[in-house]
């Protein structure tokens, strides 16, 4: 028996049907920004604005996935992935964010999903992974309520075109990031630093989710949140309050809204939410039933209410303000754990904690871990990348998934972030999260050791599953 077989036998065996996936997003990999009628997105504009992205990097070519998707799907098939989570670029479908659809844009996702299905890989489609059409930003962006209605129309068009290809649609990836990094800290596009508008944006992103769920009707629909485990630095009153605030804004604000149709009152108070932003009926719309919750998990925050600490958990690559609207005094302290190349503390126990918490505190909802992974500084040695740290990270977090399942959490799958190295937002091409290495000059793909390991885990699990034939 090989070591990997032993590992599967001893620990990483999952229930039949558990999805083993990997995730990407449109702007991070597609490139082809001016092809087949694609419009401009806020990330095109942002990346071309000096000082916004490290080294002036942009996604014009990215991983050239738009042209190389067949090769990329073949890699997924080689790895044995059973599911693939990708996002649709809104400006490919509606170049100015509203009105007639661009058939060529839709055709790309038909070709992609055809190819996935041909290889027996289940396509998980995300409608919005942060690339808002610039024309909608010019009309106010997410702080403008109309954007939510435009999103529902877009969702409906994509759903109509792809519902025979795609089983699971999800709405907005990580609304916290889209609202608070986009409109409060300015670290992400569109790079505004307008705390009150970030709050409006957060509500409208939630509203967009709810309206899209309703517009898409009967298909399997999910919402996606990025959750963090949060610990107070000490049990002082100030630190306990800091933990309540950060947990509130990062986790409960979105979980409560999507799963119970309410915002937590303490978070509304922290934010000083203008009651007029929330219109009658909004919360019911936002709480529209969903079929699955997509949970992105990376790390734990240790927070303090005492002055003097860091304003965010890890260094930002560019000049930015606090995303913690109403709780700007909270600081992030070193929790003493090993960190990834992003400076994010590694804590798989936090994943067990948040999954069991959602299962315990909210109405029953199937879940998947829709993103989890780590950036490390990979080194190419004799044509191989021995990324032991990434492998250990994924292994530990898969172990956490297993533990959560054993504790009764209805967890149905795991998607590694990311299938391949890509454009990591404000960090440009400076951080590699892929299981697959990409040479940014030649576009050559190479499986890292972590990919080979993951593939073996999947193979071992599949071996024990009953087959149809």
Footprint on this chain of ligand FCB (rule: CB under 6 A): 25, 28, 173-174, 177, 226, 296, 371, 417, 424-425, 433
| Backbone dihedral angles phi then psi of residue 329, each to the nearest 5 degrees | -75, -15
Residue with Cβ nearer ligand FCB (80 or 222): 222
Residue with Cβ nearer ligand FCB (14 or 324): 324
Place of tokens 């014009």: 60
Q: Are 426 and 187 in contact (CB under 8 A)?
A: yes
> Minimal distance in Å, beta carbon 182 to ligand FCB?
12
Largest separation between any pair of C-alpha atoms in the chain: 64
DSSP state of 184: I
DSSP state of 172: E
Residue with Cβ nearer ligand FCB (28 or 302): 28
Q: Are 185 and 246 in contact (CB under 8 A)?
A: no
> Minimal distance in Å, beta carbon 169 to ligand FCB?
17
Q: Are 171 and 158 in contact (CB under 8 A)?
A: no
> Minimal distance in Å, beta carbon 119 to ligand FCB?
24
Residue with Cβ nearer ligand FCB (325 or 374): 374
Q: CA-CA distance, 130 to 174, in Å (whole number)? A: 9
Residue with Cβ nearer ligand FCB (151 or 344): 344
Phi-psi map region of 414: left, alpha, beta (phi>0 left; psi -120 to 50 alpha)? beta
> Minimal distance in Å, beta carbon 374 to ligand FCB?
9
> Minimal distance in Å, beta carbon 417 to ligand FCB?
5
> Minimal distance in Å, beta carbon 342 to ligand FCB?
7
> Minimal distance in Å, beta carbon 415 to ligand FCB?
11
Q: CA-CA distance, 78 to 451, in Å (whole number)? A: 10
* H or E stretch covering 79: helix 65-79
Place of tokens 């890699």: 75
Residue with Cβ nearer ligand FCB (36 or 377): 377
Q: CA-CA distance, 154 to 83, in Å (whole number)? A: 24
DSSP state of 430: G
Q: Which of 163, 168, 79 is nearest to 126 (CA)?
A: 168
Give catalytic residue positions.
174, 371
Contact partners, residue 411, CB within 8 Å, separation at least 6: 18, 355, 366, 367, 368, 369, 401, 404, 405
> How wide is the angle at C-alpha 233 spanned by C-alphas 224 and 305, nearest 5°?
85
Q: CA-CA distance, 258 to 358, in Å (whole number)? A: 12
Q: Which of 163, 235, 173, 175 is nearest to 200 (CA)?
A: 175
> Minimal distance in Å, beta carbon 296 to ligand FCB?
6
3-state SS class at 450 = helix
Q: CA-CA distance, 350 to 355, in Å (whole number)? A: 9
> Minimal distance in Å, beta carbon 339 to ligand FCB?
14
How many angstroms separate the Cα of 407 from the Cα of each of 255, 357, 404?
A: 20, 11, 5
Return the half-sphere exposure (C-beta side, CA atoms, 13 A cut-off) of residue 115.
18
């Amino acid at each position: 028996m090989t070591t990997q077989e032993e590992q599967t036998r001893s620990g990483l065996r999952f229930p039949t049907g558990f999805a083993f996936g990997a995730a990407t997003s449109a702007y991070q990999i597609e490139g082809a920004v001016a092809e087949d009628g694609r419009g401009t997105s806020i990330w095109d504009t942002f990346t071309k604005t000096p000082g916004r992205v490290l080294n002036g990097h942009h996604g014009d070519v990215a991983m050239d996935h738009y042209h190389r998707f067949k090769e990329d799907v073949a890699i997924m098939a080689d790895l044995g992935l059973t599911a693939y989570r990708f996002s649709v670029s809104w400006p490919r479908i509606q170049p100015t964010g509203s009105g007639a659809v661009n058939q060529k844009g839709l055709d790309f996702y038909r070709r992609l999903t055809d190819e996935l299905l041909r290889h027996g890989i289940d396509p998980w489609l995300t409608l919005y992974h942060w690339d808002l059409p610039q024309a909608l930003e010019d009309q106010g962006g997410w702080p403008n309520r109309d954007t939510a209605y435009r999103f529902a129309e877009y969702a409906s068009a994509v759903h109509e075109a792809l519902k025979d290809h795609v089983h699971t649609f999800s709405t907005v990836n990580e609304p916290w990031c889209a609202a608070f990094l986009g409109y409060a800290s300015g670290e992400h596009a569109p790079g505004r630093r307008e705390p009150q508008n970030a709050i409006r944006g957060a509500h409208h992103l939630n509203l967009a989710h709810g309206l899209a769920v309703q517009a898409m009707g009967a298909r399997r629909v999910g919402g996606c949140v990025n959750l963090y485990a949060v610990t107070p630095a000490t049990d002082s009153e100030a630190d306990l309050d800091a933990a309540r605030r950060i947990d509130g804004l990062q986790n409960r604000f979105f979980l409560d809204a999507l799963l119970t149709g309410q915002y937590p009152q303490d978070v509304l108070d922290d934010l000083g939410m203008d009651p007029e932003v929330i219109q009658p009926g909004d919360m019911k719309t936002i709480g529209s039933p969903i079929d699955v919750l997509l949970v992105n998990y990376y790390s734990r925050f240790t927070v303090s209410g005492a002055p003097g600490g860091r304003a965010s958990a890890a260094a930002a690559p560019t000049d930015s303000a606090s995303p913690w609207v109403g709780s700007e005094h909270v600081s992030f302290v070193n929790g003493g754990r090993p960190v990834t190349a992003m400076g994010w503390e590694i804590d798989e126990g936090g994943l067990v904690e948040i999954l069991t918490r959602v299962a315990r505190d909210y109405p029953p909802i199937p879940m998947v871990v829709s993103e989890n992974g780590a950036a490390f500084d990979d080194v190419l040695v004799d044509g191989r990348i021995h990324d032991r740290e990434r492998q250990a990270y994924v292994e530990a977090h898969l172990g956490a998934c297993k533990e959560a399942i054993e504790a009764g959490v209805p967890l149905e799958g795991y998607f590694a972030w990311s299938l391949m190295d890509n454009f990591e937002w404000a960090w440009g091409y400076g951080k590699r999260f892929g299981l697959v290495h990409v040479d940014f000059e030649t576009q050559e793909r190479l499986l890292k050791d972590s990919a080979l390991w993951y593939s073996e885990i999947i193979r071992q699990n599949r071996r024990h599953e009953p087959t149809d034939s």
